[in-house]
Structure 1
């Protein structure tokens, strides 16, 4: 097994890695597009259906509940049935469910469909990150996974453009119908995305793993001195698979890592979904028109992309801990000043910085999480961390819905988010484990 893994890790960055980045990244983009659309639909629905702020919060929270359930179940399934199959299945679920949101006839039916959307989204994200992590060269792994996360920013841009161009002309239903189109992408994934080599080796499927490695080496121009699998490889006997046990996340080897990851995920999901699910509605509440609000949020969303790219630059240079701590702290500072309000220019400035640093931090989180667990529980552990985070996301939109009432509501909300992000930044700095430049096997020992 180690021979195959060492061959995989010694392959230089090549066309294969960028192709896999784009293939998984498009799935990520569709995720973000579906998540972003609901944020832009909310202020329109609130007016059309007469929703209270609490009901708007529940719409955001129910999707996060679905993501929590999806993350746990899909993480377990990916370690049992493979990364590729679960990646495809979850993409179909959230695409179809998004289309059904456009058919929602009342508040309750929309809640059901948003739960299903969340289930698919929550399942797909950690599985895609695990797949990219397991194929990336050790020295460039951070950069590739952060670049994968950058597709989230692109997806939010697409959602903002759809909302700006489609909703005012054709209604909120059409935005959801467009969100169903990614289901067609699954047929392409089935043909073009390879299964994880580490997963195949862990399941005793050595011949398949060797075939993929040889193909990657050939594409990268690497001449292997190893004989073809048919003549030298010994067939591995498939032993009975140990059951994935939740308690393994709490063994002496992984307990500290699990605690830190759960703190990170809870804090960053709580702040992100609390802020960005409500952002268009909060700006409408400040007196901006729906069209102007969509314009402002579109500009703030643009700032996410350089945030990702800068994090991709720093993560393999100064490390995971420093990059994540700095970006979370700066996101906290930006959130505080954004909450104080002011002119349109001031709001745009601090809102853009908040987007820049918050989404850059997200890229580091998706890099860091799967690195801290071995192959047999990598997707399982990542799924549980993501699920704990989703519970933070479930709480945040609802809490904001209750806090936002009154003249001091906005400053109170953003002061709260500032405190949460500062606590997480400090926890990472003091207790996080650095993984920069290490192979996945070195980290999991």
Structure 2
């Protein structure tokens, strides 16, 4: 092997940070990202299922709102509990468990026989899904070299667009095909249950977590696995001391409370606007006079704009930094929502919807990149999970708010409200710390 370091000792975190991006990093991103994509597919599918059930089951706007929101009740609880568990039993264990929970529940939802049964299954789906997302981003961020960490996490988040695109394709091709099309669509969402087995066996546990728990032999083996992939000789590691699991109240301790408040505000604003818009989008288009198939086709095209949004965020997040990238994409999202609010005609609806999709998903990439960097290792998954859990409260409220907003002011008021939430999130993002190029062990300023 070649060596690009001196023989002096280095911490395992420093050894990981010095590495180039290797095939092992690629396997970690793809392995985590496939689970992420399957999650997105499930969340995206419900918007198409809602549009179909509105016709087949003659559902009221209130019933549709609860179908859209109940999964986020589970996500709020799952994100909070998942983060706490990940800081206690490990990132990989929780990741695999959550994939299993929401995969099995999604398959069961395909057999739903009433609104009530569908609500129960959607809650269980959300429980698994909510725990998975912050845990996966934490795991990837703890392995990514510091100089490209933001870009790697945005690449992970880009798998969300792949999953949502799959949902749009299934919605377009499968859901309108028959009265049972929505059931077949949900049955496809059961794939994560099988993928959980792959995750459990193939992904490494976080080195930083292993060190905190005193499992130094496992931590050393994991670091050497990545060093071997880079062709780098290992160097002696400084001993790591086990650290007790933190109490959740540490998020609001002196020195943490400002960034916790800012992070929660960002998560709340982006969740409210994103899920309010995209969960209801196919149904709103149908209500505006589009056929079911045409509505799904427009949603598919709008979804495609997510991919270049992620690519732009991945490029800029290591050039501009996390904070400016997040602020710009949130303000771009506000502009897209505002333009969609006044759009008239098919072309205007499509173009402004794509603008909203481009900036909104770029903002999601940036927020997932910055979130694990806000807290130290012992509190990282707990903090990320708590922020995501608080944000899910907004995703519960947003679908429920759409019907009264529609009644009060139509699509203009609905998307004008979403634009305002994006602006609030952008203002809060200005208060987050900038960690571009810094080690996760560097104290947060």
With the shorter chain as reference, the TM-score category is over 0.9
Instruction: Look up the match of 1:413.
Output: 414
Mark the runs of 5 or more structure 2 residues left unpaired by the alignment: 1-8
Q: Distance in 2 between matches of 1:143 and 1:443?
A: 21
Structure 2 counterpart of 1:339, from 341, 345, 355: 341
Instruction: Look up the match of 1:222.
Output: 232
Structure 1 counterpart of 2:209, from 189, 192, 199: 199
Q: Distance in 2 between matches of 1:117 and 1:377?
A: 26
1:376 is displaced (CA, Å) by 0.8
Q: Report the TM-score when normalising by structure 1.
A: 0.95
Q: Distance in 2 between matches of 1:211 and 1:118?
A: 34
Structure 2 counterpart of 1:273, from 264, 272, 275: 275
Q: Distance in 2 between matches of 1:134 and 1:70?
A: 21
Q: Distance in 1 between matches of 2:339 and 2:191?
A: 38
8 A contact 1:65–1:390 mirrored in 2: yes
- Deviations along 1:36-80, whole A, 9 cap, x unmatched? 000011011011111111111111111111000000111111100
Structure 1 counterpart of 2:118, from 89, 110, 120: 110
Instruction: Map residues 256-405 of structure 1 onto 2, 5 A cutoff.
Output: 256-405=258-407
8 A contact 1:53–1:402 mirrored in 2: no
Report SS of the residue matched to 2:103.
helix
Quick check: 1:152 aligned with 2:154? no
Report SS of the residue matched to 1:278.
helix
1:2 is displaced (CA, Å) by 5.8
Q: Report the TM-score when normalising by structure 2.
A: 0.95
Instruction: Look up the match of 1:437.
Output: 437
- Deviations along 1:192-221, whole A, 9 cap, x unmatched? 100000000010011111111112111111
Report SS of the residue matched to 2:78.
helix
Q: Distance in 1 between matches of 2:263 and 2:424?
A: 13
Report SS of the residue matched to 1:380.
helix
8 A contact 2:329–2:359 mirrored in 1: yes
Structure 2 counterpart of 1:168, from 173, 176, 200: 176
Q: Distance in 2 between matches of 1:187 and 1:353?
A: 38
Mark the runs of 5 or more structure 1 residues left unpaired by the alignment: none
8 A contact 2:155–2:314 mirrored in 1: yes
Quick check: 1:40 aligned with 2:48? yes
Report SS of the residue matched to 1:317.
coil
1:337 is displaced (CA, Å) by 1.1
Instruction: Look up the match of 1:131.
Output: 139
Q: Is 138-147 or 245-254 further displaced after alignment?
A: 245-254
8 A contact 1:372–1:443 mirrored in 2: no
- Deviations along 1:262-303, whole A, 9 cap, x unmatched? 000000001011000000001001100000011100000000
Q: Distance in 1 between matches of 2:339 and 2:33?
A: 32
Q: Distance in 2 between matches of 1:79 and 1:107?
A: 36
1:242 is displaced (CA, Å) by 3.3
Q: Distance in 2 between matches of 1:55 and 1:242?
A: 45
8 A contact 1:130–1:379 mirrored in 2: yes
Q: Distance in 2 between matches of 1:410 and 1:346?
A: 14
Report SS of the residue matched to 2:158.
helix
1:237 is displaced (CA, Å) by 7.8
- Deviations along 1:120-146, whole A, 9 cap, x unmatched? 010000000000000000010000000
- Deviations along 1:410-438, whole A, 9 cap, x unmatched? 10111111111112212222x22211111
1:243 is displaced (CA, Å) by 4.7
Q: Is 419-428 or 388-397 further displaced after alignment?
A: 419-428
8 A contact 1:371–1:443 mirrored in 2: no
1:191 is displaced (CA, Å) by 1.9
8 A contact 1:150–1:308 mirrored in 2: yes
Q: Distance in 1 between matches of 2:39 and 2:14?
A: 33
Instruction: Map residues 77-92 of structure 1 onto 2, 5 A cutoff.
Output: 77-92=85-100
Structure 1 counterpart of 2:78, from 70, 83, 89: 70
Q: Distance in 2 between matches of 1:155 and 1:412?
A: 29
TM-aligned CA distance change 1:342 to 1:149, over 3 Å: same
8 A contact 2:176–2:292 mirrored in 1: no
TM-aligned CA distance change 1:289 to 1:443, over 3 Å: farther
